Structure formats: structure tokens, C-alpha cells
Structure 1
């Protein structure tokens, strides 16, 4: 998703909230009219008595208070394991206050929490470089923190370019990495993804994917790749790479800077911005090794049960990793979980729908035959 798309998502959600507010207010007005037939005694159309206007104002204030009252109580945990691999190429970062951590005075009164998972390939140089440099590039951007969507997109691309320069000076660094970051500020959650790590939100127990896996099998990615002179061979980008977006990999010919338009391997992240509500419980950010053995909903269910048992976020991350290994995961494994409440997730009551059972005409005839009727 481009920056413009992310902004449209944000605007769309604001419009949805406004529309929901408008609908509830209209309903309240109608109920008020039913109770008081003097609402429009002489056919004055949209004119209402002063008492009705005052009542509507109270409703508006109450609704606005409900919309803005939720403030996430952030706490997080993380766990990593080498898995069945001979080398550990995953890395991650958890920062409670991004600006303060890097010694910058933020224009925002709210702390901006930053979480990231970086899954390296062909070595750990790129993953470690992005982990160490990307957050600083973000806070040093002139538009930080007022235009975070633009800042994050620029920072991914600038960090990628900076890594290319480092590789030209030290070839041993040559490698690549996927990158997924989550930034939480106030009630806003901004996820940026380039690669096949995944972020999944638990909304009252229902899994909501906050990122899209960038793999060669994705139709949109295939179209983008082919438009830039790349190709998909046996589900690999240019027959060489299992992801279609990543930072690094400058040493692989034909993946970047083809014809001055940028190559088929893109470092530009797709963004997703949402407004958190009381129903949003926690966010899982994991490298692809976890998602090879967990579905998004399965991971939410598993983590939710563990948090209900002991409410220890770090222990929960460790248990997710251990469960992935029991299920046969072979890749490096990294899990970061950010919770938005201090209390345990509430129990969810599943409403079971009644299924009406009926017999076909043929079945009824067979039954009559068996009964001798």
C-alpha cells in the first residue's frame, strides 16, 4: 500500500466513525420525537424545540467521549530461537519511546512506541544494519512525527540506500532482509511491511491481518515485477529470491536499479493505519517461520489462551515459539507481542447458530419403506 493509500485508510476510518456517530444521533432524535410529539407540532420540518437541541448536544458529547476515551496501556514481550537452522538471521527491536531512545525532542506530547522484526537471508548483515539504522533515520526525518506515513516510507528506502553504500565498502555485509515495523502513538497503530513477516491484531479474539505477505505468488506483486522487467520462475523472484520486497540484496544482479526505474525487488513498504479501540487486545509480529506452522487466527487463539492463563507477555512469546517448534517449524523463529490492556483478555462467548435439519422426499419414502408403512 502506498502512502496515499494509507492516508485514505485513515480518512476512511474517520469517516466510518463519523457516519456511525451520525446514525446513532439520528436514531436518538427519532426516539426523542416519538416520546414528545411536540417535536414538530406545526410542520416546521427541521426546526426543533430548544430542549431537543440540548438533548442532542449531550448525546454528541457522550458519544465523542466514548470514541476518544480509550488509551492503550502498552506492554510488550519478545522471544527468538534459531530453530532448525545453522545460523540465526532473525533480529528484532522493541522501543517504548522512539524519540527519547535516540535523544531527540519530539514535537508530539505522546510517546511513539516502535516494534520491529527483521528476517535476514544470505547472512545477518542486512537485518542487523536495518535494526540499528532504521529507527534513527525515522526520528531524524524533518517531518517526524507529524507525517509518519511519509516518514516511514522514506526511511525504509533511505536505509536501503545507506546499506548499499556500506556493502560497497565492506562486501562481507552483502545480504538481504525483510522488515516489518509497528508504531503505536496514542490510539493509532501504523504497520509498515516489506517482505513476508506478518503482523496480526487480535480484535476481541478475531484475527485481523495488518500486513500482506510479499511473495512471488501474489498477483499484484507479479504484475509490479513484470512491469519492471523482472519475472517469476518456480515461485522465486527472477528465480533467486522467495520474497518480492526486501532491503539489501544489492549484490544479486537484476533485482534492483534496473533501467533507472528501480528493480523488481522493492524496499518500499506497504502501510496500514488504524485507530485502536477497546476491543483491540494485542498485536503479534513474527518472522515467517512462525507463519509456516500457524495460521493468523490460530496464533491469536493460542496467544490469547496463554495470556488468559498467566497474563505474562514475554512468557506468552516464548510459548508461541516453543509450540512452533513442536509443530515442526524449521526456520529461525521470532515473536514480538504488544498488548494494549493491562488486564487479561476477556472470555469470548461463541454464539452457535441453530441448524435446521430436514429430510429429502426420497429419504422420507425410504424411511416409510423401512417402517413398513
Structure 2
């Protein structure tokens, strides 16, 4: 009898244990579904992150309506190799930059020729790339002041925007009003912010360092709040921290590229005076779909800005992450229509109309 009772107790105990562990078939099905969903999400994420960019680039510049060309640019497919160093763990770092000079070309050309080398020769390159880039902008600015301390070139300045691609990472550094725009399935993603006195954050920074904004100009003299050079302007720059209101320190933005990322446009402000970020992406996609030639696309963008009346120097650099042209725009699922934005020509006409009122 005792053994029979023990057997019954054991069966009841096992039943309770089975219930507490969720042995019900419905619970098992639910758990399997959760696991399947998790695996699907992980697989989708892994597939997305396994994207390997196919890097190619093109560039074009034009003097525009100016008497002198003060823009400069650079395209380096392998940054370390370009300066005689071996790539770390066979990871190639591509480097692209646009430099919009003012009051002469000396600062723009100096930064173009020296900033990439300063970055590569930093002791922390490439392991701490973000710190290296910030530090290199400031160091290059200081070196420019030393080199031209007794030279008329000291009176020049330049904005600077660089883009570095390593693996699936895109790092953009900007000081000034050049702009970088990423096309993500046809949608414009701004990778930089224009550093102008009208920007509230920049205005607060400037005023905290003893500067001021007068009629839209920094200290009544410059249309940008960040630039390299311009050491001849009183009250603008100071050696050391925190420095003067005109800063050479760039703002950084980094993203991980996926297959949805099509190309990057880098342009001097002469381009952005006649193209909004989305307009530029739309324009470039249409041209690339026609011929898939990046350099020709840059030329067409520059020519279009000139046709609309651009008077500034113009420079455009494009970097593509695919060998093929961007796919056609997708139709809106709700309306069946292709999503479009106002054209560059329409935007310019609207601006002229509003300014004429």
C-alpha cells in the first residue's frame, strides 16, 4: 500500500513540475514561434550588416563667376598607402575632402595637402579615428599659422569637410558650410551641419567665447563660425583651450553603411546655394540611372548650378557604394504614385520670386 501511495505522489509531483515548466503543447508551439522570430530577426540583421561597400568616386569643380579659384578637393582611395604606410589588418581607409577657401587659396591648398598626412601620422591612427580626426583638424590649423606667420597667406581661411570610409563605417568631419549628403534608397540623409552664425547652437557657442553675430556675420566679418586659417582677424582665434569664437574643431557624424546606402555627395557651399539636400540626391540619382558615371554626374551638377546663376566657386565630389546605378524610385504603396520633391529649378524660381517681393 505504501508503495502504491508513493507512486501516486510521484506521479502528481511530476505532473505539477511539468505544468510549472510549461509543458502544454500550446506553450511549446508559442516558444518555438518566439525562437523562430528571433532567428529571423538575427538573420536579417546579419545579412544587413554583411554588406561590403564597393567604393568608387568622381569629382568636378568650376571657378563659377569668380575671378579666382579658391576651392580645393582631394580623393584618396587608400589613405595609409598614399603616405607610404601599410594598411592595418588589410583594412583600407578611403579619404575624400572638399575645402572652400576665402581671401585667397593658400589655406585651402595647405589643408588639402597636409590634413591627410597629419591624420595618418597621429600615434592613435587608425584605432581611435574619431579622436584623431578632431585633433588633426586643430593641429593642421596651428601648423598653418606657424608656416605662414610672416606670409600674406596667413590672411586666408578655409572651411573643411572630410569623409572617411573604412569597412562598413562612414565618418564625416565638418568645420564650415560645405555639406555631405548620403542617399539612402533615394532619401537624403544630411551627414553634416552648416556652421553659420544663424545656427542657434553655433551662436550660443560663439557668444560664450566672447564673440558676437552682427548682420548674420561672425564678429561682423565672416559668414561661417568654423574654419581653418583666418589667423589675421582680431578676436577670432586664440591658441589653446577653449580658443576663440572661430573654431577649427570639426563636428563628427558616423554611420554604418548598409545595402540601402547608395552614394555620398560632398559639395562646397556654391552647390548648396542652388540645391537642397533632397534636390541634389534626386538630381544625382536620375543622372546615374542614365549613365552611371560619377565624374560626369558631378560635372552635370556643377553645370546645373552655373546655369541657374551660381557666382561662387563650385566643387562636387561623389562616392558610390555600389558598382551599379541606383534603382528606380519606388511608388508610394498607398497612392501608387512615385514620391517626388520640388526640383532644383523650381526651388531656385521660388527663391527668386520670394526675394523679389
SS in 1 for 2:60: strand
Task: Kindly indicate whether the alpha-carbon contact (under 8 Å) linking 2:134 and 2:249 is maintained by their aligned counterparts in 1.
Answer: yes
1:237 aligned partner:
218
Task: Report whether the alignment pairs 1:255 with 2:236.
Answer: yes
Q: Distance in 1 between matches of 2:152 and 2:38?
A: 66
The 5 Å alignment of 1:179-328 reads 179-257=160-238, 261-328=242-309
SS in 2 for 1:200: strand
2:322 aligned partner:
341
SS in 2 for 1:65: helix
TM-score normalised per structure 2: 0.83
The 5 Å alignment of 1:19-34 reads none
What is the deviation of 1:102?
0.6
TM-score normalised per structure 1: 0.80
SS in 2 for 1:145: coil
2:76 aligned partner:
95
Moved over 6 A (4+): 46-49
SS in 2 for 1:168: coil
Q: Distance in 2 between matches of 1:279 and 1:54?
A: 27
Q: Distance in 2 between matches of 1:330 and 1:282?
A: 27
Which ranges of structure 2 fall in alignment gaps of 5 or more residues?
A: 1-16, 337-357
SS in 2 for 1:323: helix
Task: Report whether the alignment pairs 1:115 with 2:115.
Answer: no
What is the deviation of 1:230?
0.3
Which ranges of structure 1 fall in alignment gaps of 5 or more residues?
A: 1-39, 356-373
Aligned counterpart in structure 1 of residue 86 of structure 2, from 105, 109, 122: 105
2:130 aligned partner:
149
RMSD value, Cα: 2.4
1:139 aligned partner:
120
What is the deviation of 1:107?
2.4
1:358 aligned partner:
none
What is the deviation of 1:109?
2.2
Task: Kindly indicate whether the alpha-carbon contact (under 8 Å) linking 1:106 and 1:145 is maintained by their aligned counterparts in 2.
Answer: no
Count of residue pairs brought into register by the alignment? 315
Task: Report whether the alignment pairs 1:69 with 2:53.
Answer: no
